[in-house]
Amino acid sequence: MEILKKQYELIKGSRQAMLGFIAEQAAAQLTTPIIEFNNSNIRYLLVHIANTYKHWGGNFAMKKGLLYIDDNTVNDITSIQKLFNEIDELMMEFLDSFYNHNIKITNTLRTGKIAEITILELFTHMITHEFHHKGQIMTMCRLLGHVPPDTDVIRF
């Protein structure tokens, strides 16, 4: 589990590179609809990422019954950064709650299907989901006229 904690620290660094860029360059455009993304916006995707961590880490794995965030209630980049600080705490709790990444969590999906998923699978799903949408957010920034920085885990 220690390696997953170290990996999550790398994820946080990559996220901070993205959020710092948005704060400096695109904060005023958080809610600008992007036609190429079905009129979605940066704020929506950032909150969606956070809600996915809440869903899989908090509710599916730890059965916490966390409420999801309505993206319309998050109005600025400071609030988004605060939201991700809460997600970081949730993820540390998630990683501290299980002694082995091969532990299987069984829970019922919204469809009624029972799913059995290992901690490693859940963790991998959450972080790859974030990176998928981080790429979309950086593309949104480019479409809004900004040149995004390198936000990979290894940055030069």
Average pLDDT for 54-64: 96
Q: In the structure, what pLDDT confidence band is assigned to residue 154 with cuts at 50, 70 and 90? A: confident
> How many residues are listed for the chain in this entry?
156
Q: How confident is the model at residue 100 (pLDDT cuts 50, 70, 90)?
A: confident
DSSP reduced 3-state for 45: helix
Q: How confident is the model at residue 152 (pLDDT cuts 50, 70, 90)?
A: confident
Per residue in 10-36, pLDDT (tens digit) is: 999 999 999 999 999 999 999 999 999
The CA–CA distances, whole Å, from 44 to 16, 35, 72, 155 equal 17, 14, 8, 26
What's the confidence (pLDDT) of residue 71? Answer: 94
Among 46, 71, 48, 41, smallest CA distance to 140 is for: 41
Q: Is the pLDDT assigned to residue 114 strictly greater than 90?
A: yes
Q: Average pLDDT of the chain?
A: 95
Q: How confident is the model at residue 104 (pLDDT cuts 50, 70, 90)?
A: very high
pLDDT at 131: 96
Q: Which CATH superfamily is domain 2-28+40-143 in?
A: dinb family like domain (1.20.120.450)
How large is the average pLDDT for residues 90-102? 93
pLDDT at site 110: 86
Whether 155 has a pLDDT exceeding 80, the answer reads no
* Contact between residue 57 and residue 122 where contact means Cβ atoms under 8 Å apart: yes
Average pLDDT over residues 114-141: 96
Among 89, 92, 49, which residue's Cα sits nearest to residue 69?
49
**Total-model pTM:** 0.94
Q: What is the pLDDT of residue 106?
A: 94
- The owner of tokens 């029972």 is 114
Tell me the domain boundaries of the chain. 2-28+40-143
C-alpha 73/C-alpha 131 separation (Å) is: 23
Structure tokens at 58: 């908090």
